[in-house]
């Protein structure tokens, strides 16, 4: 945007807010509330997505630690971890669904000592 456009947008916004302040409360809320609610919904969605990414990373880290702690055969554990990390858990940023791995939380079968 050029400077004149920014100045025009700010002038129009100031004029709208002045007009809106003189309008009845129900009309002001009808005009101003939907964008605020949409912004709150987007923020809430981003927070939930962040929590989901954190929990997924935490789950994978705990699973890697458990598998590599010596409870199972290290070769089997590494092959399983490689297979799990090759498959993404969440849909891509473009909103296209990706293949979700099956039984990600299930460890590979343990070999008896």
Continuous segment of H or E residues that includes residue 84: helix 74-86
Mean pLDDT of 39-56: 92
Mean pLDDT of 101-109: 52
Instruction: Please say if the pLDDT value at position 56 is more than 80.
Output: yes
The predicted pLDDT at position 105 comes to 52
Identify the residue with better confidence: 6 or 42: 42
Domain parsing of the chain, residue ranges? 3-86
Whether residue 71 contacts residue 110, with contact meaning beta carbons closer than 8 Å, is answered with yes
The predicted pLDDT at position 29 comes to 80
pTM greater than 0.85 (yes/no):
no
């Amino acid at each position: 945007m050029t400077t004149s456009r920014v100045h025009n947008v700010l002038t129009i916004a100031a004029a709208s807010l002045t007009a809106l302040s003189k309008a009845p409360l129900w009309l002001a809320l009808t005009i101003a509330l939907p964008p605020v609610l949409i912004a709150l919904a987007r923020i809430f969605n981003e927070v939930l997505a962040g929590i989901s990414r954190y929990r997924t990373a935490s789950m994978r880290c705990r699973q890697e630690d458990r598998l590599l702690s010596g409870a199972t055969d290290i070769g089997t554990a590494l092959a399983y971890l490689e297979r799990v990390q090759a498959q993404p858990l969440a849909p891509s940023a473009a909103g296209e669904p990706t293949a979700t791995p099956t039984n990600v939380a299930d460890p590979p079968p343990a070999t008896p000592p």
